[in-house]
């Protein structure tokens, strides 16, 4: 299941905006209905999720994300035929997250349906086209690279690449890591996302798109500074935390450690690599909606052979802990530890 929309995936909404300005009342109704969808999904009330999802597809026609989410609700409700049909419709509307539609456990019971298989082919084409376009859009988005005074520029240094949350910005997010990076003697790199969130900042898009930015950032810092390739860490908050899980574990050959903060975890994204998985330091608030997923992550990754530390912060919601400098330093020391 995915609940975020990228600008290129919401053709129906853009069409409404071109034909006539979206009224405040209409925008509010869409936002309210999206929250109702999330509540129904979290409650595992699939009948209600279907009802709300159908309403969203009427409010915002041809929105591939809403159509995909509706496919998930139908699949979880046991209606394979409707689920596969909506998955195919989302593909025709432009859905391009191939990794998600291929691995999402919500869709496990429709994998053999002909409409789902047809949808995969369309999404694969969408993904390929979207990724090429994204690479062009991302060409000028250079990462922010900060070399603390504590780093010895004559020796290969460790690196931490950090990914902000939905609506964030590289500069603001890097500021949250500065003190910890300085104390740990680590080069700090903050990639700049491409997709704008109106009135806020940016978001990462699909894992494949984020992957382009992360690997470009790693290549750039490695070309400009002396980097210890065995001591590169990937961290992130919220949407960035989810990307840290996904990409850090996907590229176990490149990242020795992963620091997800309040990030959602999907076990189907994780493949144990030859030579083992990175160390993982999980940070999550006691009142965060992702707590259950992060507890599951720690258990799953430990079972797959990773060394994991899970820190749960009392009274904290979807946010950094109050003593974030100390916690980030502890996290860096844990994943960079030399055995």
What is the per-residue pLDDT for 20?
Answer: 46
User: CA neighbours within 13 Å on the CB side: how many for 163?
Assistant: 37
- The structure's pTM equals 0.80
What is the per-residue pLDDT across 76-100, written as a single tens digit (0 to 9) for each? 999 999 999 999 999 999 999 888 8
- Cα dihedral 4, 9, 12, 15, rounded to 10, equals 120
Tell which CATH architecture fits domain 7-137.
Alpha Horseshoe (1.25)
> pLDDT confidence of 272, banded at 50, 70, 90?
low
Say if residue 2's pLDDT is above 80.
no
Q: What is the pLDDT of residue 9?
A: 34
- How much is the average pLDDT of 170-199? 96
Domain segments of the chain as ranges: 7-137, 144-336
Of the chain, the percentage scoring pLDDT greater than 90 comes to 81
What mean pLDDT, rounded, does the chain reach? Answer: 90
Instruction: Give the C-alpha separation, 2 to 104, whole Å.
Output: 9
pLDDT band per the 50, 70, 90 thresholds, residue 244:
very high
- For 144-336, the fitting CATH number among 3.40.50.300, 3.40.50.1820, 3.30.2420.10, 1.10.287.130 is 3.40.50.1820
DSSP character at residue 319: S
What's residue 239's pLDDT? Answer: 96
Complete DSSP assignment for 69-112: HHHHHHHHHT-HHHHHHHHHHHHHTT---HHHHHH-GGGGGGTT
Q: Are strands 257-261 and 279-285 parallel, antiparallel or unpaired?
A: parallel
Distance in angstroms (rounded) separating the CA atoms of residues 66 and 14: 14
Which has more pLDDT, 205 or 181?
181
Residue 289 clears pLDDT 60, i.e. is over it: yes
Average pLDDT over residues 260-287: 84
Q: Which residue has the higher pLDDT, 143 or 24?
A: 143
């Amino acid at each position: 299941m995915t609940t975020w929309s990228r600008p290129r995936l919401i053709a129906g909404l853009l069409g409404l905006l071109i034909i006539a300005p979206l009224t405040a009342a209409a925008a509010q109704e869409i936002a309210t209905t999206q929250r109702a969808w999330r509540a129904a999904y979290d409650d595992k009330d699939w009948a209600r999720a279907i009802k709300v999802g159908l309403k969203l597809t009427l409010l915002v026609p041809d929105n591939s994300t809403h159509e995909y989410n509706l496919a998930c609700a139908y699949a979880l409700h046991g209606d394979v035929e409707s689920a596969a049909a909506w998955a195919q419709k989302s593909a025709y509307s432009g859905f391009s997250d191939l990794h998600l539609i291929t691995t999402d456990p919500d869709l496990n019971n429709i994998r053999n349906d002909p409409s789902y298989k047809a949808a995969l082919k369309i999404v694969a084409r969408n993904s390929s086209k979207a990724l090429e376009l994204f690479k062009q859009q991302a060409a000028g988005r250079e990462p922010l690279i900060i070399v603390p005074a504590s780093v010895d520029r004559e020796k290969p240094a460790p690196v931490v690449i950090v990914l902000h949350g939905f609506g964030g910005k590289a500069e603001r997010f890097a500021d949250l890591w500065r003190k910890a990076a300085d104390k740990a003697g680590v080069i700090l790199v903050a990639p700049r996302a491409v997709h704008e969130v109106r009135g806020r900042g940016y978001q990462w898009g699909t894992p494949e798109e984020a992957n382009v930015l992360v690997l470009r950032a790693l290549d750039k810092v490695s070309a400009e500074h002396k980097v210890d390739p065995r001591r590169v860490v990937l961290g992130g908050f919220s949407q960035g935390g989810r990307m840290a899980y996904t990409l850090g574990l996907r590229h176990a050959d490149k990242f020795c450690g992963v620091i997800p903060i309040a990030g959602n975890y999907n076990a189907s994204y994780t493949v144990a690599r030859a030579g083992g998985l990175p160390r993982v330091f999980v940070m999550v608030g006691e009142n965060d909606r992702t707590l259950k997923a992060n507890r599951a992550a720690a258990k799953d990754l430990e079972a797959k052979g990773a060394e994991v530390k899970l820190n749960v912060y009392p009274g904290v919601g979807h946010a950094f802990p109050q003593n974030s400098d100390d916690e980030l330093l502890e996290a860096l020391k844990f994943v960079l530890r030399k055995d």
